[in-house]
Amino acid sequence: MFISSAIAQTAPAAAGGDVGSSLMSMLPLVLMFVVLYFVMIRPQMKRQKEHRAMIDALAKGDEVATAGGLLGKVTKLGDSHLSVEIATGVEVQMQRNAVVQVLPKGTIK
């Protein structure tokens, strides 16, 4: 009894399909990717560009903070590495990418 009425109510599938309806079904997916680009991908690329510019602008005597939490003054610069003085007479060599922030002059006493 219930099965026959359920089968009778189903609509037959369209043979050719409507191009407009298929585009409308893709619209939420496209909108999701557009929002994802502007909310996540674009700001991340902007931060990477700013970080790269900061790393390239490092100079001897700059006071920096590293990803590991060390604070120090840049004493030597190389292509991919730099030396940071973290205490009087104590120098640490690290990768340039480990520098997270350039501090204002006089921050480290």
The percentage of residues in the chain with a pLDDT greater than 70, rounded to a whole number, is: 83
Residue type at position 97: N
In degrees and rounded to multiples of 5, residue 80 shows phi and psi of: -120, -10
Query: What are the residues whose beta carbons fall under 8 Å from the beta carbon of 104, sequence distance 6 or more?
Result: 63
For 71, the enclosing helix (H) or strand (E) is strand 71-77
Query: What are the residues whose beta carbons fall under 8 Å from the beta carbon of 78, sequence distance 6 or more?
Result: none
Q: Within 1-109, where are the H helices?
A: 2-9, 19-36, 42-56
Q: Can you give the pLDDT at residue 17?
A: 56
pLDDT tens string 31-75? 999 999 999 999 999 999 999 999 999 999 999 999 999 999 999
> What average pLDDT does the chain have?
87
